[in-house]
Chain A
Amino acid sequence: MTLSAANIEVQYEARAAVRPTTLALEPGTLVALVGPNGAGKSTLLRALAGLIAHGGTVTWRGAALARLDGRTRARTVAYLPQDPPVHWPLPARELVALGRLPHRAYAARETAADAAAVTAAMRQTDTLDFAARSVNRLSVGERARVLLARALAVEAPVLLADEPIAMLDPYHQLDVMSTLRTYVGGAGSGARLVVVVLHDLGLAARFCDRVLLMDDGALVGDGPPETTLGSAAIRAHYRVEPFIARHDGEPLIVPWRSLKERSGD
């Protein structure tokens, strides 16, 4: 019961955005997808979500996602784009409730389960206070959390989130990372898989079980944070000199100085 990607590959006009990549991602894990700008993180995430044409296949529990009907796929894999548009100024709660569309039949009213999922998602993202407020009256950070609540409300076993904390203040960055941690759950039948694109390597190292490091369309690192986010790898792929330490028994990574030349390793 894994999300498996076999030879996933994406071409953008003769340029390889994602080079052939094979992955197996287990429920119960919070996976960080990191890498410098233009490394192909968002493209890989979109390919996993089945939103763009790609080579290879993505399977969930052995079934090819592309073969599933739209609604079943939508209930299996939730996807949160980076800074998605909101075209109509819906009240925040109504926007979150859009995450229940895959669960609802045509013209069906909201069920108790739908309402519970929406409320739970809004509580987890600290957005209940402005449930009735129009989305375009919210601050950038509030809006980002409402959009995350929308993705959580799907209650899918797989959540793919593209930079959900980029717009948030430190309090809510930490809060959202714990929320994703909770969403993943423990081992067992309720366990879920979350893949989250992050630029904060420190938060990736602290909160995630596994880190996928991409550079130039290729997966160049895959494993627990301590091994993937070593100072050599950060120097090589991010072109920064990191400061790495431990605080309260947890890893602390701060990009310290940019390196003008790519280091050899």
Chain B
Amino acid sequence: MSPTARNGATPALTAILGLLALLAAAVSLVIGRDGGGPTFGFGGPELAQIIVQEIRLPRTLLALLVGGTLGLCGAALQGLLRNPLAEPGLLGASSGAAFGAVLVFYFGIAGASSLLLPLGAVGGSLLALAALYGLAGRRGDFLTIVLAGIAINALAAALTSLALNFAPSPYAALEILFWMLGSLADRSLAHVYLALPLMVPGWLLVVAAARGLDALTLGEDTASSLGFNPRRTQALVIGGTALAVGGAVAVTGVVGFVGLVVPHLLRRAVGQHPSRLLLPSFLGGALLTTLADVAIRLLPPGPELKLGVVTALLGAPFFLHLVMRNPAREA
């Protein structure tokens, strides 16, 4: 194997994934859904602009952005924690965001402005991150981070249940539950504009850690001796993930397993390099999420499945497969 062939594999994979994601996005713009199941095309020239701009474009853009965020952050977290089972939900950012959103529902102010809900979610996610840093930031070792993440997840889930318990009406409880399932339906471009300012800096922070993740392959001591402070790499990945995933959860609810599955599927193809996994995972996440969202619209008539339900249905068996298989044996 020559060095050029080795370096060449990742650009080719990246190009293919990027192309496929664009194709999926194009398909997503053409396919809609109404009470009678899937619809194709735009239903007439004067309707076309409204349908695309108001309904399908926001949905497609969010699928790409949210899926990309989950894939990228999943790959970075797996590199940081050097564990193929890590994923964005681990840090508590998702559950914190869910709780923030639930509070908005709980106080019944979600109707006041369509942006209150995502704002609540962003607040919750940032609060969860602050708690994570308060609990584990100073100690800084990876195990403490993971344990603190689990604790924050549990607390956020408990508080969310509490809100459900005291929900003012069964209808509000149902609304909360549905929102937590994660969905891309009925989103507008305003949601895109709200999520992007959080996602883009988050992505940049995560990507800035790329070489530090490579160095961590040989453990913290070697990484330090190669000039990459593991604490700095950790701050970049965790801070970036909290921002980007907070933004994603704010507009779509909790979409699980994309951040776990996508990096794992691509790891071998990029020769196990943590840094080379980042961009393909972003594109792969965007592709997978867009496809899942298209699949939802293609199902026969009936209530629309939530995106989070579909990704969990596909992801859970895969997760089980991962657990049953010793990661050390893969080459």
Contact = CB atoms under 8 A, between A and B. Distances in A.
A86 B221 CA distance: 12
A1 to B, nearest CB: 21
A70 B228 contact: yes
Residue among A71, A80, A88, A137 with the highest chain B CB neighbour number at 10 A: A88
A78 B225 CA distance: 6
A104 B228 CA distance: 12
B240 to A, nearest CB: 15
B230 to A, nearest CB: 11
B211 A49 contact: no
B3 interface: yes
Interface in A76-107: 77-81, 84-91, 94-95, 98-99, 101-102, 104, 106-107
B225 A74 contact: yes
Interface string A57-80: 000000000000111111101111
Contacts of B226: 74, 98-99, 101-102, 154
Residue among B216, B218, B271, B274 with the highest chain A CB neighbour number at 10 A: B218
B214 A132 contact: no
Contact of A51 (B1, B3, B221): B221
Contacts of A78: 225
Nearest to B277: A88
Given A101-B228, A110-B7, A90 B273 contact: yes
Given A86-B218, A87-B82, A136-B331, A102 B273 contact: no
B225 A49 contact: yes
B228 A94 contact: no
B74 to A, nearest CB: 15
Contacts of A134: 272, 331
Contacts of B224: 50-51
A94 B272 CA distance: 10
A115 B135 CA distance: 44
A88 B217 contact: yes
Interface residues of A, number: 43
Interface in B206-248: 210-211, 214-219, 221-222, 224-229
Nearest to A83: B219
A136 B328 contact: yes
A75 B226 CA distance: 8
B1 to A, nearest CB: 5
Contact of A74 (B218, B227, B271): B227
Contacts of A98: 214-215, 217-218, 226
A189 B75 CA distance: 44
A71 B228 CA distance: 8
A53 B42 CA distance: 66
A84 B227 CA distance: 17
Contacts of B217: 86-88, 90, 95, 98
Nearest to B82: A87
A109 interface: yes
B46 interface: no
A150 interface: yes
Residue among A69, A72, A94, A147 with the highest chain B CB neighbour number at 10 A: A94
A87 B216 contact: yes
Contact of A88 (B6, B222, B228, B272): B272
15 contacts: A50-B224, A70-B228, A84-B219, A87-B82, A87-B218, A88-B272, A89-B330, A91-B6, A91-B271, A94-B271, A94-B273, A98-B217, A99-B226, A104-B211, A134-B272
Given A49-B225, A101-B214, A115-B3, 18 more contacts: A70-B227, A72-B227, A73-B227, A79-B221, A79-B222, A84-B218, A84-B222, A90-B271, A91-B1, A91-B272, A98-B217, A98-B226, A101-B211, A101-B226, A101-B227, A101-B228, A106-B211, A134-B331
The 3 closest A-B pairs by CB, nearest first: A74-B227, A70-B227, A79-B225
